[in-house]
């Protein structure tokens, strides 16, 4: 995964605690799609912690079909936003 992360300008991922920890160290722009199938919706809470400090974008699982591709394309075509997300 380290090579894939290094090559990526944008990472799209679930929001488990281990993943959040890894992604926070990468300095990459991230779109988080929390799994709706976890106890007490903890992945949304994990993702929200990064979103609240402008370190990630959150898309709900049930919104991926309508929003994910457009949001990803918007981000990869906006160097300023990519840089801002990766620096936070």
- The third-level CATH classification (topology) of the domain covering 2-87 is Rossmann fold (3.40.50)
The reply to whether the predicted model has a pTM over 0.95 is no
Q: Where are the domains of the chain?
A: 2-87
How much is the pLDDT for 2? 82
Q: Which tens digit of pLDDT belongs to each residue from 9-45?
A: 999 999 999 999 988 888 899 999 999 999 999 999 9
- Average pLDDT of the chain, as a whole number: 94
Q: Which of 4-8, 34-38, 45-49 has the lowest mean pLDDT?
A: 4-8
User: Torsion angle, CA of 51/46/71/73, rounded to 10 degrees?
Assistant: 100
How much is the pLDDT for 24? 85
Q: Write the CB contacts of 19 (distance below 8 Å, at least 6 apart in sequence).
A: 13
């Amino acid at each position: 995964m380290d090579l894939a992360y290094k090559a990526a300008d944008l990472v799209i991922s679930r929001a488990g605690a281990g993943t959040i920890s890894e992604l926070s160290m990468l300095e990459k722009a991230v779109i988080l799609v929390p799994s709706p199938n976890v106890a007490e919706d903890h992945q949304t809470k994990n993702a929200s912690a990064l979103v609240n400090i402008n370190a990630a974008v959150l898309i709900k699982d049930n919104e991926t079909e309508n929003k994910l591709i457009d949001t990803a394309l918007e981000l990869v075509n906006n160097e300023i936003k990519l840089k801002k997300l990766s620096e936070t």
